[in-house]
A and B are shown apart, each in its own frame.
Chain A
């Protein structure tokens, strides 16, 4: 399949390994990425709290650029960031609700020759994996099942709430997809308190203690549940859970040493891509347990 691909900002900035691992995994899943390199930041909810129309217009611009690719054969728009998914879905809900409001937004876009037509399909890589590629197909592609790897899912608020806007329901349990993917890849899903909670990142500059307390607690809960690592579809969660983990450990007063993987990295490991190619060496918390696991598997195969 071909997708109009919005990588987001952080995946090309502080978590460049996310963008890199997506690029490594895509061809193996038969996804052609057409990158929206002229598109702009989704606003992460912060621009919307300054001005809704500004956020709506910026995202309408990204949607319009994606729709140009869709008319040229892309199947849908894909993002790799829970926050992009949530912030863009929120704007889309307003844009799709009213032709009058859409016309006002499109008038601003007209200067650049762009127009957003309602009803774009924009899915996070997680949703694409389950709904477009399918778990059955994914299973056939697994070369190195994640046997004995204990993985805790960490979704990020924006991709699980509010359920009505994100079309999460019993028929489409998008808030259970990470667990389904981990299982399909052969790993063990760890059940712990923080999987659907907030990483705290949005208030890191506003109330640092509360922000790090949230990250620290979830990491500690996952540690107590004996997870080897966490996996997240959200690079902003990754910033608080991995980049800030040494500070979060200080905040909660205990040693934390929990590797946090980006979703394409976990998929990549199971598809047989090397940890180095997936950029695991760039993480702040060394994913030692994951590397040990992958070497044990490779060693086990080549040694016997």
Chain B
């Protein structure tokens, strides 16, 4: 065991509360994010056992998963969804939890508002009953998704008993070509290591291509860690991180800020620290990617083709054939020849201001193809407001995109935003599982620029050849 420590090890060790012999270590949780779908049974569990919420002020809630994205104030027609939202409101009141409700200017997708409110900070442990909690690792925090039983556990104890995960370093050298984004990097990694390539591991993304990413890009990258099976993903904090956090509502200020930055500078992995697994990649080899199948590892460059199943070994052929059958695609079809019906720009992966700027830059001066319905769903009310200040909404509206209220929306289709059976969608979200965006719907994962370009062209097209207006 090396005495040089990784970013993960430093955070883990700093949060160890107890290490009972023969048991999993108990770690302290600095921030617990809560939403309406995975929390009601946990609150109920506290009530049934007569337990209190140990640290209400380290617990922050919002509504995002099943809320409509029609203008706020429109009644929620789905009564079961409305009941779930009402349950969260009542639970937050009863247990004293800060809630950014439907009508709050700070409402948004839980993984968008954490960072933009400065709740997410380097060195923290952060959990949420949502697998995309890995997003917050972009700040050099240890952030991971948990199930509802563990949500209740954190509520009652502010701790979790966790087996120590393994570590994995993904070192991306070189730089990404213009038009190749953090989303493409994420898809490229999953395509290479597979959807279970990082199971049991915490990934640290490193290398010049990762360093060059903005905070939004790092969030996109860390967000998709779970799609490679990782427990969490993280990027060491640096000047880019500090500049993003500074001045945010819940960030430290004054002398506290100076002290915090000093601490955060000690977090990065030390030279010579060892990882259980190391993957090396060359950023220059990556292109804009499009998924063709029913998991995020089924991916091809936009210039490529849907795989030809004849050359595959038996076990892969079976799953590939099932995927192509569901997706309604013939083996060997050119990706750029795949026509689409719908476009979704949004989700905790790609709904931040920089994502919307990138999509708007593509959309400016163009119009959505006649047979395509395209929607833009900002990740939060703050993102929506900022985009409107910059006039991005007008670019989208002029180009024929719908401009909606913030929420998870068609990433998982728990609200009324869903695909119809057989509809094909270019989506900036994170999962292309069967039925994810609506039963029988066919999802292709892409970057915001690639999604906007597909909306206009009516089919996938290489953004590197785009005529920007």
Is B truly associated with A?
A: no
